[in-house]
Amino acid sequence: MSKGVLLVNLGSPDSPEPKDVKKYLGEFLMDERVIDVPLWARNLLVKGIILNTRPKASAAAYKKIWWEEGSPLIVISERLKSKVQEQIDFPVALAMRYGSMTIKKGLQELVDKGVDEVFLIPLYPQFAMATTETILVLAEDIRKEHFPDLKISDLPAFYNNEDYIEVLSNSIKKNLEGKNYDHLLFSYHGVPERHIRKRDITKSHCKIDGSCCVTPSPAHEFCYRHQCLEVTRLVAKKLNLKDETYSSSFQSRLGFDPWLLPYTDRTIERLGKEGIKNMAIATPAFVSDCLETLEEIAMEGEEIFHEMGGKEFTTVPCLNDDDEWVALLTKWINNWATSETVAS
């Protein structure tokens, strides 16, 4: 069989203009795994409220972080793909879950090159309904409809993979070398609490009470909260961080339902009020810098911290196209190509 690789990231508007942002937000927020309410309610919320109010504000945020080459997330993902392709003998394609760089186009690109066996890599370390799951479900739907003879394998969540933790820890250490910070905050993208309970395969383990995530359970395979907190624990152990010098939080909430706690903006505010003068922040739910890291954290987060009396606010870049990250992806791809045993 002829092999190929499809890297899949979140996506981006085609431009930071309100009309393109509105189109992108519409596709993103109408995904039933992002806003998991009945269709009539999702239509009312998204098309009746959000898309009439949010695109202008989101467009302004995108304009703050937009690069001359285009969307940072797209540009970084393309750099990553190019570097991986240099190390791999078979085709590597790039697609996005939302936006114009569709998964269908990515699979078509590989099929046009003679590929009949694809290794699909969702570029998310942790499993979540709104990230990994929605990519895999859509990819399978597209395969069935358009490429029925195509075989697709996928990379499972790699949040606790020893090599990944090593690469992430090295990146954080390298980027904080010589920097002054009293506290390191690990900020993860937030999800509604109900997403955690919905994906509890035991139907009883996930109580989100502080104990379930540290109590071994089969539920952890699909528990986003556990997987985030485990990344923090493993990186802290690798970097020999003292307990009181780091913590975890969750950003980017939407609507009024309970989302995972604590919230990043309120945590930054609290740290400032408690007298922390210098802090650093890493965002390990993302492998590529994007609106949520470059604007929400690096700009809005810093502003909150300074308002609370903080001084130095250091943001750690995502792995992006870091050479160690490229090497690790290449290793996993080669493992798949030779034995189809990956992330082990």
Q: What pLDDT, in 10s, does the model give residues 139-154? A: 999 999 999 999 999 9
223 in a domain, yes or no? yes
DSSP 3-state assignment of 254?
Answer: coil
Helix (H) or strand (E) holding 18: helix 18-29
Nearest by Cα to 321 from 120, 81, 62: 81
Looking at the fold, whether 81 and 222 belong to one and the same domain comes out as: no
What DSSP designation does 265 have?
A: H
Looking at the fold, whether 94 and 10 belong to one and the same domain comes out as: yes
For 184, the domain range is 162-315
The ranges of the chain with pLDDT < 50 are 343-344
Looking at the fold, whether 210 and 259 belong to one and the same domain comes out as: yes
Looking at the fold, whether 187 and 289 belong to one and the same domain comes out as: yes
181 in a domain, yes or no? yes
103 in a domain, yes or no? yes
70 in a domain, yes or no? yes
344 in a domain, yes or no? no
Looking at the fold, whether 172 and 60 belong to one and the same domain comes out as: no
297 in a domain, yes or no? yes
Looking at the fold, whether 92 and 226 belong to one and the same domain comes out as: no
Q: State the total domains in the chain.
A: 2
Cβ atoms within 10 Å of 106's Cβ, excluding its own: 24
Strands (E), 135-203: 151-154, 183-189
256 in a domain, yes or no? yes
Looking at the fold, whether 150 and 166 belong to one and the same domain comes out as: no
Looking at the fold, whether 206 and 84 belong to one and the same domain comes out as: no
Looking at the fold, whether 277 and 144 belong to one and the same domain comes out as: no
Share of the chain above pLDDT 90, in %: 94
27-77 confidence digits (pLDDT tens): 999 999 999 999 999 999 999 999 999 999 999 999 999 999 999 999 999
**Per the confidence metrics, is the pTM higher than 0.85?**
yes
At 344 the pLDDT is: 43
Looking at the fold, whether 298 and 217 belong to one and the same domain comes out as: yes
Looking at the fold, whether 311 and 327 belong to one and the same domain comes out as: no
55 in a domain, yes or no? yes
Q: Which amino acid is at 222?
A: F
Looking at the fold, whether 182 and 67 belong to one and the same domain comes out as: no
Region of 264 (left: φ > 0; alpha: ψ -120 to 50; beta: rest) is alpha
- Can you give the C-alpha Rg of the chain in angstroms? 20
CATH number at residue 43: 3.40.50.1400
